[in-house]
A and B are shown apart, each in its own frame.
Chain A
């Protein structure tokens, strides 16, 4: 793995530790309103300053990281599981199942992903679970396509034929013989996708469709504080920096993984 990938990996571990142990790293409560210390610039008392309700931005960024990163990881896991299952079936059974599944996959991949995620997140009441569902609803398609391709090349391998010959059931071939071969590439894909998922989560919560206040998320901090950008820019600067650095690290790691495992360098889905 190239140096950038290693650095990115190390930074991701550092960010995760910061997010995981945020209660120990900051003495300020992220949701506590302190009207005697509103709009304070960054300084020793408040590392990143305070917002218009006197809440400490440093601790809000740390706690927000917990939410954003865990949503991205869980959404990646759900997408991978659904994509794995559907891709396995589509690749193995072929025929009408394959045609149908691939038509749906093409449909989802052709549609602007953010609009689709917004549409899905409207169906359920806003919250962290809704964001996961929305991301996974859009995300499973690229996993399904990748896994299907993998299954198509494996399907005619000698060991699958042998399994069929000794009378293995379809379920056994699918889940015992094919799935372990597809899981690693699925995990690599999940790593590649994480950066995009962090960005999608931030975008949805920026639009007010993510975790609801007073829970701090990076996206909602930017959207709530953007009226103060001229006078108190730190309120917007630090949450955005958190999104940018986290996404950058995940994307760099994703690139390194892509190079290492020789996945096609498809264009990243742009968040508009």
Chain B
């Protein structure tokens, strides 16, 4: 079991090395000591409040991977209805019941980027953000998100 997931992760690692240039929005890095620990740097999608920010994700891959989904959380603070503001936990179906063994860490990163662009306020982890969106205060949500992006996800100026 461990061997299978290890092999799978190694394959993904090689895949990532090859596709590093292909997808500049995602930088997936494997922990040097532990292949079950990964970190990813994803760029905030354009035309969203997260544009310009670089968000760090932490992957914790279970032994049963890929049958079990990896546990992913934001290390960078983000104001998003589906991300827990304090823990960085992500509410994403593919990381829970909709997980498929066909998915990879790379595809999870892409899914997270998509989630950032299209928040789902009906299942919020961040109630404030969700409430803003559900009440239709798009502008309030965007400014809050942009602020946190600028505070947490952008390199400090100067």
Partners in one complex: no
Q: Which residues of B contact A (CB under 8 A)?
A: none
Q: Which residues of A contact B (CB under 8 A)?
A: none
